[in-house]
Amino acid sequence: MHPGEMMPQHRWLVEGVWTREGSVFKQLAIGAVLAAAITTTGGPARAQTAAAPAQTAAATETPKPNDYSDGKAWLCRPGRTDACAIDHTTTVIAADGKLSREPWTADPGAPIDCFYVYPTVSTDPTPNSDMSADPAELNVIRQQFARFGSKCRPYAPLYRQVTLAGLRRMLAPGGAVTLDKGVQYDDVRDAWNYYLQNDNKGRGVVLVAHSQGSFILNRLIREEIDGNPIQSRLVSAILLGTTIAVPRGKDVGGSFQHVPLCKSPSQIGCLITFASFRSTVPPPANTLFGKVADATMIAACANPAALAGGSGQLHAYLDSGGRTITNTGTPKPWVTPEQTIDTPWVSVPGLLTARCASNENASGYLEVTVNGNPSDPRTDDITGDIGAGANVAANWGLHLIDVNLVMGDLLDIVGQQAKAYTSKGGSR
């Protein structure tokens, strides 16, 4: 959809406020904005929009590279108290309403590393963010990455990402969305190179990203990793909330030439990717994900709950207060009669299942089914849509909780991949 043709029900995403039935929910224009009319094939991600207008002199100045030897340039690094040092205690809510408590601990001796690039969350008013960690960056680490510390040593650089304000400018008539070019890419590349030269020491590494972060790591993998010697250290790449192309009927090719889709939890050197949609709200004609222009390609989908194919139960970790990567909704009571949930997270075993699917509008996406049962005391639904009721932005799917939906599954996979990698003599 051309930015100039943005439908009325989606304008609130750009303006940042949605009003319904007398309630006002402040919604930040989330990182999936970058996916508007974008497909990622073998080349750089491009927006199918008119050429960008001339930039101001300030915008064309070459930014000074970041110094990633400075600890303040990182949100997370091993062995310190930082954005990743948070409480992940979880209340497990069974279908019969029984509550149990699940503890969590980081593993400082994890055998592999994880390198994370976060999605578009910055509320800075400038086109690109500064290098200060605001509540938005701290929250997205909490939602999407800190829990990985139980399986790998966490590395998460700050970078001068395209901000929410910057995306609004890109989506203006005549603008172009380019997330994998500019200082945002340069910063991540520099952080990656600093990590390789100073921290990696031959260890295996999992690349983790969502939305804008996935576009950046897509290019990094193509240019720096795919087919190069460093690929031997790639345990896996988890690039969510984006569209990555593979040849129809194949697991490799298209975006990457030597990084196939993961087909088993112990497979290493492979890719997990998808964009999620409710089974009841599938990708519409103007979907922002799951479309690939090349008829010989399809949008890749690897279901973390069933990598070999088919449907599987999702091991989700959902914010007990309804918060997502950019906003806070008000969830229905998790159980009726309502009981106090005093942990930051909840898990709802059996409530959610998923499978890779396609329809006439999208050649590949993760279809999420909510298996609510009105006769049991547990909630029958989850929050995570952009909007609510008749104003749900169907073309965005469940982008706000892509990672939360599969967090437990990803951790199980990364744990098995770590064992497979070390059994072959990798990491130390």
Type of residue found at 358: S
Sheet arrangement for strand 318-319: 99-102, 90-93, 345-347, 318-319
Q: Which two tokens stand for residue 149?
A: 């510390």
Q: Which of 62, 38, 287, 15 is nearest to 179 (CA)?
A: 38
240 vs 226: CA distance, rounded Å: 18
With cut-offs at 50, 70 and 90, classify the pLDDT of residue 177: confident
Buried b (16+ CB within 10 A) or exposed e, 293-311: eeeebbbbbbbbbbbeeee
pLDDT above 70 (res 365):
yes
Q: What is the DSSP letter of 10?
A: G
Q: What is the DSSP letter of 5?
A: G
Q: In this predicted model, which residue has the larger pLDDT, 37 or 59?
A: 59
Per-residue confidence (pLDDT) for residue 330, from 0 to 100: 76
With cut-offs at 50, 70 and 90, classify the pLDDT of residue 243: very high
What does R_g of the chain's alpha carbons equal in angstroms?
Answer: 20
Using one digit for the tens of pLDDT, what is the confidence trace for 316-335?
A: 999 999 999 987 677 889 99
Domain ranges across the chain: 3-50+72-423
pLDDT above 60 (res 195):
yes
With cut-offs at 50, 70 and 90, classify the pLDDT of residue 62: confident
Using one digit for the tens of pLDDT, what is the confidence trace for 95-142?
A: 999 999 999 999 999 999 999 999 999 999 999 999 999 999 999 999
Q: What is the DSSP letter of 335?
A: B
| pTM over cut 0.75 | yes
pLDDT above 50 (res 3):
no
Query: What backbone phi and psi angles, to 5 degrees, belong to 44?
Result: -60, 150
Per-residue confidence (pLDDT) for residue 176, from 0 to 100: 79
Q: Where are the beta strands (DSSP E) in 179-295?
A: 205-210, 234-240, 245-247, 270-274, 276-278
With cut-offs at 50, 70 and 90, classify the pLDDT of residue 13: very low
Per-residue confidence (pLDDT) for residue 167, from 0 to 100: 87
CA distances for 246 relative to 253, 255, 256, 290, 394, angstroms? 5, 7, 8, 11, 24
Question: What is the arithmetic mean of pLDDT over 356-379?
Answer: 97
Per-residue confidence (pLDDT) for residue 254, from 0 to 100: 94
Specify whether the CB–CB gap between 36 and 171 falls below 8 A.
yes
Establish whether the linkage from the previous residue to 337 is cis, with ω within 30° of 0: yes
As a three-state string, the secondary structure of 235-250 is: EEEEEECCCEEEECCC
With cut-offs at 50, 70 and 90, classify the pLDDT of residue 172: confident
Per-residue confidence (pLDDT) for residue 55, from 0 to 100: 40
Specify whether the CB–CB gap between 326 and 386 falls below 8 A.
no
